[in-house]
Structure 1
């Protein structure tokens, strides 16, 4: 039986980064996943993911964001891969909206100065976008996007360079406490370790449910629409636009013919992660295309392609990290709630520290099980 210091179950955004940081510190580590790193069956895919300092959930995330930016650049330098593009971010909403109030509150809490700009200035930054004069617009100059498949694959590959084992195509079938350690079983092997970290995304829900912590998984759809006058969509900021109960986001064109966008609000809640439907239904696009035709009049046309992903939501959308109350050698994580990818480089470092020290770092104490 192969033995390790730490086994990481789930080599997605958080798992791959955790594996990397542990291996880089010289620990004997193994990662398990049903699919190769960078796959499209969980939450960490779709060509682009937003990275931003303009946060509207909680100002406590800003130190982690600052660390994430630094770690993404370090990973780029180590690997020679281009992973993060900074092109700015536009946050748009109505004056009295919850979105704008939370954005301003979290920014003030974190001491972050955002640039409030006019609709004319927004059009100068994004020539295709038509923003009414009555909208509040903030420009986050540090906003941009990450390439999620490349980020996950790079973290996993560099972990292997530093000595990690990655068993792709081998989902965790069961785990059990084994004295002061753990034993895990896949279809192909049984492994032992001193510690186990569960970074299995939506598939961690049953473990939290046993502890009375409710999580919900949502099926979300990302769309790529065909655009005309593609030069007006190149080198533009990423954008987030909240309208009443709905919120939408989008990216610059990467291929010169399509623009990726999605609705962040809404989504179909599933009983469990494996109930996800990979097909695209008409109701998936009930709000997005009508919105795009208002925001980009005459320039956004039919859907070119679409992909589904999963959001695993906690009650307050904050991350949850904690040791199993009966088995302290097992670290449970539910990190994303639809906004975690950007932070995964820093969260890998946090999880690596936590599993070794036995406590969450003070700056992340608000992630603890409550």
Structure 2
């Protein structure tokens, strides 16, 4: 195994870190113009580098944020991204060292949880990340689409200029606030990046105004088709604070001219857009993908932060090989969760706990998959009721 050392990068080293990350994704180095924009969403005080001698061979970064948990509370949270290792230095322990160091430091700094969006699904379970929310891709045939007469209505939609990406839209986002477990607070650089155009399209933003003010927005781009190809409107971001705002924004999207299809990726599994259509077959769910990969950094605080359903208390044993301070027995009941010395009825590792924590997967489902060990079968239905949320978790923030 090659020897390497880890340290925080300084400002002058961030571009090399970005290029290393892009190379790991098989992309070319960043251009001067794009780097000027990229500096707005890097934080060198949170960017780690792995070095072999003086050569950078791996990197990972994060942003400070907050995560909404079941019950409506938010906890200190780190959004992890730009994790990469040089192709000639993979499988030598570099990634493991980076993530162990990063997760340990984040816990010590007070983050209760961390999340990321995974390019490869087989990597992050080894480090305690579990899939905690999912999203679906909805494709609507615009020319066949129309909302039925009972779809929510009220309010107006207006287009806003590009300055709104860093002014109006963040204000609306904060005003709407967390509506589901999995919501994360966005940082200033995230908004700047949202305004950057995708290749071949211009981004457009529209804001919905309801009876109490601005309560939703959508950001989208259109790629015009040629030679028989379809013109596609792709939803890049959509936030709605009410059913009226959701319906109003989609009603607006479905009336944009010179568009054949509207595509919205990673939307909530239970978002009722297709139910608002007069012709249900005009909307088609093309895929369901993992969204939030959650890592509980401080299990006692995470368990104590969320609320639980009505059921008999259950004692669970949590194992965490990477952060052993999390290992222990926890008594979870309608009144909350706390460490205990009582015998465990269920046992699972921190990865499986992450999958259940926001309410995406029931403990009994995890048990059926072999991810929860059951000492007391009567505890499983109680655990299902305790961890149930009544809301499908979803973040809606890609980073």
TM-score when normalising by structure 2: 0.22
The answer to which structure, 1 or 2, has the higher relative contact order (CA under 8 A, 6+ apart) is: 1
TM-score when normalising by structure 1: 0.23
